[in-house]
């Protein structure tokens, strides 16, 4: 485990051992600025001795790998879980807006001039992931004097993934070519026949059914199915939606990665002109040639150019979460047409959602709360610590942020305990910090 050091001007220095950090804190020559990763700031100035550090970033749409290492030693390594709930939240918001328009409300003159999009606009779900990549790289640069930055990007040919033999003009002749809309294409594809009763109910009215929810599955032809109106109504009333499954996996991640790659690279290039690109086939060759396991953080270590660097005994898990819940009411109405309020107090007994707390010597996060003062405690990977822990047994460690972090033992991937000891790092610390 390392303790990360910044000087009094906020510039990062080489990390030190926990023993040396303990001495500096005891002598009041440094102060704690961040509990996780544990970072101290020198009260007295020091230029410090710095080594070349390479940072590798394994980009992704759901998980990101990070690894900063010298030629011999990994200084920080971990995995990041990105948000995947934005699309569903926006779909819910559209549902509420659509419902409001159907209610009897005052007339408002339609406005159309406020619908323009800026150059370089991205869908909110994609923009959040691009911003998260840049935010994470900035975080590492604030605690380590990184000299080299390497980013792995990928480009996917979604048409080739669907049809491996496609070539030439076939790229311009998709499956829906010649059809008026997607609905007409789905009926033609399914032979204008209900795919559940095969026409036995003799219902002439046909509907298009979403196999996955429209919020998450979208309107892709792979997610649509022809059902007669009788079967469609029965399917939803009896909750039999799970009987249908998509024939092929959605290509949303591949499409998003193709769009994100240049936005991530250009965004990092503005702040770090020396940023370099690499590709997945190079990372795969490096990992296999050195006999390393397939993990996001190990891929990032290969991207950094130091695959054989000695890993640390502690890795980190970051998780991106939403800042606020602005939904005023629940989506499902109660009996009598009443909409249940979605409001909740921000602070309950001094604690809020996603606060990092200590419960019986173990650090965890608040993922649920009750007004009576009982909290649902979990780790970032979803492991439940306690379903209803009293606030009297909790001690706040860190305030909630949109980027939660948790230290984990690299050997067994278990979270580090609050009372756990420290190990001495293997790093050249000479002239690391000069003391007055």
Mean pLDDT, 10 residues at a time, the chain of 436 residues = 92 94 94 94 82 95 95 95 92 82 69 76 94 96 95 87 84 84 91 90 91 83 91 90 83 89 93 92 94 94 94 94 85 76 84 94 93 94 93 94 90 53 38 36
Q: What's the pLDDT at 385?
A: 94
Q: What's the pLDDT at 226?
A: 93
Q: What's the pLDDT at 105?
A: 66
* Class of residue 412 by CB neighbours under 10 A (exposed 0-12, middle 13-18, buried 19+): exposed
Overall fold of domain 4-84+123-156+253-321: Nucleotidyltransferase; domain 5 (3.30.420)
Q: What are the pLDDT digits (tens) for 160-218?
A: 888 888 888 888 888 888 888 999 999 999 999 999 998 888 888 999 999 988 877 88
Give the residue ranges of DSSP H helices in 223-363: 229-237, 252-271, 280-289, 296-304
Intervals of CATH 3.30.420.40 along the chain: 4-84+123-156+253-321
Q: For residue 124, give both structure tokens.
A: 């909110």
Q: Is the distance from CB of 317 to CB of 416 less than 8 angstroms? A: no
Q: What's the pLDDT at 342?
A: 77
């Amino acid at each position: 485990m390392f303790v990360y050091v910044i000087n009094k001007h906020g510039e990062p220095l080489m990390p030190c051992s926990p023993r040396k950090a303990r001495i500096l804190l005891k002598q009041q020559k440094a102060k704690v600025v961040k509990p996780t990763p544990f970072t101290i700031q020198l009260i007295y100035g020091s230029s410090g001795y710095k080594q070349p550090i390479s940072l590798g970033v394994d980009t992704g749409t759901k998980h990101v790998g990070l690894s900063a290492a010298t030629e011999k030693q990994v200084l920080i390594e971990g995995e990041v879980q990105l948000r995947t709930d934005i699309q569903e939240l926006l779909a819910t918001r559209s549902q509420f807006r659509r419902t409001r328009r159907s209610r009897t409300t005052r007339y408002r003159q339609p406005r159309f001039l406020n619908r323009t999009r800026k150059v370089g606009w991205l869908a909110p779900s994609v923009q959040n992931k691009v911003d998260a990549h840049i935010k994470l790289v900035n975080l590492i640069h604030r605690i380590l004097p990184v000299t080299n930055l390497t980013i792995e990007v990928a480009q996917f040919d979604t048409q080739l993934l669907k049809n491996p033999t496609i070539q030439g003009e076939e790229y311009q002749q998709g499956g829906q070519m010649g059809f008026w809309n997607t609905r007409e294409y789905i009926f033609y594809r399914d032979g204008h026949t209900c795919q559940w009763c095969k026409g036995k109910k003799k219902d002439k009215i046909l509907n298009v059914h979403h196999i996955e929810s429209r919020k998450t599955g979208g309107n892709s032809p792979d997610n649509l199915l022809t059902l007669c109106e009788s079967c469609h109504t029965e399917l939803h009333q009896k909750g039999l939606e799970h009987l249908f499954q998509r024939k092929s996996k959605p290509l949303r991640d591949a499409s998003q990665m193709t769009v994100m790659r240049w936005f991530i690279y250009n965004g990092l290039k503005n702040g770090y002109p020396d940023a370099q690109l690499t590709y997945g086939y190079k990372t795969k060759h490096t990992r296999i040639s050195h006999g390393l396991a397939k993990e996001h953080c190990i891929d990032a270590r290969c991207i950094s150019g130091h695959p054989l660097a000695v890993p640390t005994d502690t890795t980190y898990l970051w998780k991106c979460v939403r800042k606020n819940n602005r939904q005023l009411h629940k989506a499902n109405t109660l009996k009598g047409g009443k909409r249940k309020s979605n409001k909740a107090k921000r602070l309950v007994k001094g604690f809020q959602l996603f606060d990092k707390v200590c419960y019986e010597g173990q650090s965890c996060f608040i993922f649920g709360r009750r007004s009576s003062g009982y909290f649902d405690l979990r780790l970032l990977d979803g492991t439940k610590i306690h379903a209803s822990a009293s606030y009297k047994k909790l001690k706040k460690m860190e305030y909630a942020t949109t980027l939660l972090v948790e230290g984990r033992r690299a050997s067994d991937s278990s979270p580090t305990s609050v009372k756990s000891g420290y190990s001495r790092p293997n790093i050249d610390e000479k002239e690391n910090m000069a003391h007055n």
